[in-house]
Structure 1
Amino acid sequence: MTVSREELATKVDIADWLSLRAHLERGGVIIVDPLLELAEVGSTLAADDVKTVERWLSSALLAKPSLEQIRTWDAEDGKTFKCLIISPYVLIQEPAPAAG
């Protein structure tokens, strides 16, 4: 099933870490590097573009959260992420720091 980037871009949301943490248990959380757009990664996963996904994984543009990251986020009150659900995965990305 192909889903357009434009369509997925409308589904990007903000969620707090506590809500997202539940998806860790099943290994569904994937961190997306800020160099990539969540909608682009989502449409690539939905299209089952294995070569592109493997390239991103080997370049560390996509990764599973490390124990250290999880501990840091657990300790941070109100930690939020941009997120996009591409079943069975939940793509997360730290929002860009506010300018100023």
Structure 2
Amino acid sequence: MTDAKEELATKVDIADWLSLRAHLERGGVIVVDPLLELVEVGAALAADEVQAVQRWLSSSLLTKPSLEQVKKWDAEKGKIFNCLIVSPYVLIQEPVNP
């Protein structure tokens, strides 16, 4: 598992909402709550860890973007996210400001 996490950690990137929005149309965008580590979630999805993923979904720590979020992000020019592709999903997380 550690090797998978290390590999995924090298794939975390930064993208603006406009670039990510295309993935929204096909239902592939998953919003990761800042309480979770993006790489940990990606590794759990890649390893098909159903219990962990279901726990996060039921706790609303993993969600599809809401209509309100999409409208807000559409209005924010240059809105940036940390992102990680774990096909067929694109995990996105708002950067935490220090």
Provide the TM-score with structure 2 as the length reference.
Answer: 0.95
Letter aligned with residue 48 of structure 2: D
Match of 2:73 in 1: 73
Structure 1 gaps of 5+ residues are: none
CA distance in structure 1 between the partners assigned to 2:34 and 2:4 by the alignment: 20
The answer on 1:59 being equivalent to 2:53 is no
Aligned length: 97
**TM-score, structure 1 length as denominator?**
0.93
Question: Deviating runs (4+, > 2 A) in structure 1?
Answer: none
Helix, strand or coil for the counterpart of 1:4? helix
Deviations 1:41-83 (A, max 9, x none): 0010000111110000000110000000000000001000000
Q: One-letter code of the match for 2:38?
A: L
RMSD over equivalenced CA pairs, Å = 1.2
Counterpart of 2:92 in 1: which secondary structure? strand
State the SS of the aligned residue for 2:81: strand
Percent of residue pairs bearing the same amino acid type? 76
Q: Offset at 1:3?
A: 6.1
